[in-house]
Amino acid sequence: MPPGRLAYFGTARHLERTAVHAAMDRISAWNRQLTSRALDGLGRIGGITIYGPRDPARRASLVAFNLAGRDPVAVAEALDRAGVEARAGCHCATLAHHALGLSPPASCRLSFYLYNTPDDIDQAVAAVAAIAAGGPATCAAQPAPEPPRSPAKLPRRPPPRRRRG
């Protein structure tokens, strides 16, 4: 918002600072609740290493982890197939991964925000548990991807005619 302009979202209504703080506090509380649920669920999975503090108030609304004997990229790909969006890699924290002694310097990461639900967290935890147990990560049935098709053969066009002039 430009300085001196009290219009928000195209209206002349002034948005009070306390209202913004209250909204952000509600979002933060929701994110902490989701993160706490994820930490509790993931913490019960054998062979998992969770990085960062266990207190949701002391961390961002994400959980970085590794599964013993599993490549973090393969874990993220399996989660993707289970309908759970995850990321794997160094997350722009290569030095932190090196400091933790990770080889390769990578972890898998789940992130949460205000649009996520407790059911989303439960689905993610169940998928991670299935992967850790060595089975396929299960979720609602999804159609198998179609095999790649050969490129369509287009008729060959004759070269453009030159104008003589």
The residues that are catalytic are: 92
Contact 79, 127 (CB under 8 A): yes
Nearest to 30 by CA among 120, 116, 126, 124: 116
Contact 146, 62 (CB under 8 A): no
